[in-house]
Structure 1
Amino acid sequence: MEELLLRVVPGLAEQWKGVTPDAIARIEQIAGRPLPSFYRWFLSRMGLSMGHLAYPTLDFSAQRVLERYAEEWVEPHPGLLLIAHDSKEMMPTSLFYDLDAPARGDALVAAKEEGADETDLYERFETLREMLAWGALSRFRLDKMPQQCGGTFSGDPPDILSLVEPVMSSLGFKQPVSTGPYCGLYERADAVMTCKGMPRHGLDRVRSFEFGGGDAGVLRKILGEIAAVSSLKVKVTEWTPALA
């Protein structure tokens, strides 16, 4: 994870700043259970500053999390832990860990609108690790590609990405970090693809994708290979910029 972030996020090595073990321990006390190991790593590296990786309205800092609890803006919950406060004026949607849904040394990330009930959660990523890696690749590599497209992979298998991965590997793509069945990250020098599904929403037959490369021909060729080699249905819904 460090290799990926330091490689794709400009100046991150000079900008990221972590917090002290004491601050981490205070958040763990609020959680009432051991924090996921990845979150401890995140706080130790970026709990004070995320540098250019920071999100426009989401504050992941340990200080903001502790302030929100101290102000009783959010009350301690046995299964939910605030990890990012949303500062949007209209319909702010802060992020929480669902600590009852652990995964690979991490936990599910869910969004909740201000004032909503704890059961009214919108699940975003199976892990914080995948959310940060997905965001970094999207913002600092994929979005800078001359041609982009988006769409869906669909089919009968419950794990769609298990059919995508071997095709991408055969075409020279690497997976910069390991992911679960809901998130796929693939990159090579001239192209980047990110795939995403919604945990626990019963959408096991569909994964959305965003794909960027040098030109439409390259993207079409790769998507065509996935459709030809696997049993998946590939649907492109948008081209950016639009094709003539």
Structure 2
Amino acid sequence: MSASSIEFEMEELLLRIAPELAKQWQGANPELIAQVERIAGRPLPPFYHWFLRRMGKDMGALAYPTLDFSAERILACYAEKLVAPDSRFLLIGYESNEQMPLHVFYDFDVPAREDALVTERDAMGGDLYDRFETLREMLAWGALLRFRVNKMPQKCEGILSSEEPDLLSSLDPLMSSLGFNKPIPTGPRCGIYERHDAVMICKRTPREELLGYQSFRIGGRDAGLVRKILGRIATESALEVEVDEWNPALR
């Protein structure tokens, strides 16, 4: 699948679950994008090009409370020498919360699916805290959490586990048999599943050594439906389901 068709699917997903974005998001102008690319010292991942063109000035309802992903902010951080240019890492999200000053970076040493690994670290270096294999997955996962899962009457979260490292190879066909669609393609460490009355998202840290585990969140129209879906996963696949929390709590 080409990068352009994937981004078409991504845009379709975002505008479907948050239609207000059509009037809110604003792209960065081409010169600012070119300046970011010069700082990177290499061609930007195709998805990041799309992201900057579509919402590199304003993310609208997708904006994170304390993270600024705008091209203007990124360029300002480099101009003010808050972060040094690096051939491996590119700052893409500035964290304004001084209590947790971990900024979002691309790690170009780990490209994936016309995109690259998203990690967090201090502005000047230090330990890495990897988040998603791609920015595409980070945005899609977060958007579905905010605009679908969290708006469902019943929510649940927990852990899926399997003896097989590629857990999603078992989960994907089962979710399809239950009528769920995958709105965009993902890698083996992030699963997103939708149908009209329920949504399930799962992920694990990209470089985590514990293969065969995924945290999950699911939302549905009522507790009975969510319990039925989780029960089908537990009984019709080799996956184990461990529930940590129901919201609201079950009586």
TM-score range, shorter chain: over 0.9
What is the deviation of 1:89? 2.2
What is the deviation of 1:113? 3.2
What is the deviation of 1:116? 4.6
2:238 maps to which of 222, 231, 240 = 231
- 2:213 aligns with 206
2:183 maps to which of 154, 172, 176 = 176
**Could you give the per-residue CA deviations for residues 190-216 of structure 1, whole angstroms, max 9, x where no partner exists?**
000000111111121100100000111
Aligned-pair identity (%): 61
Determine the C-alpha separation between the residues in 1 that align with 2:115 and 2:124.
Answer: 26
SS in 2 for 1:222: helix
Determine the C-alpha separation between the residues in 2 that align with 1:226 and 1:242.
Answer: 21
Task: Single out whichever of 55-64 and 89-98 deviates more from structure 2.
Answer: 89-98
- 2:7 aligns with none
1:124 maps to which of 118, 131, 138 = 131
RMSD of the alignment, in Å?
0.9
**Could you give the per-residue CA deviations for residues 137-192 of structure 1, whole angstroms, max 9, x where no partner exists?**
00001000010000111011111011111111001101111000000000100000
Gaps of 5+ in 1: none
Q: Compute the TM-score of the two structures, normalised by the length of structure 1.
A: 0.97
Give the residue type in structure 1 aligned to 2:177.
Answer: S
What is the deviation of 1:108? 0.4
Does the 8 Å contact 2:83/2:123 carry over to 1?
A: no
- 2:53 aligns with 44
Determine the C-alpha separation between the residues in 1 that align with 2:55 and 2:124.
Answer: 28
2:40 maps to which of 14, 27, 31 = 31
What is the deviation of 1:20? 1.7
Give the residue type in structure 2 aligned to 1:163.
Answer: S
- 1:217 aligns with 224
2:43 is equivalent to residue 53 of structure 1: no
- 1:240 aligns with 247
SS in 2 for 1:121: strand
The count of corresponding residues between Structure 1 and Structure 2 is 242
Determine the C-alpha separation between the residues in 2 that align with 1:89 and 1:108.
Answer: 24
Determine the C-alpha separation between the residues in 2 that align with 1:181 and 1:109.
Answer: 15
Q: Compute the TM-score of the two structures, normalised by the length of structure 2.
A: 0.94
Give the residue type in structure 1 aligned to 2:31.
Answer: D
What is the deviation of 1:115? 5.2
**Could you give the per-residue CA deviations for residues 78-131 of structure 1, whole angstroms, max 9, x where no partner exists?**
1000000000021221100001100000000001135552xx110000000000
SS in 2 for 1:65: helix
Cα distance 1:115–1:99, how it changes in 2: closer, same or farther (>3 A)?
closer
Determine the C-alpha separation between the residues in 1 that align with 2:210 and 2:51.
Answer: 29
Moved over 4 A (4+): none
2:112 is equivalent to residue 103 of structure 1: yes
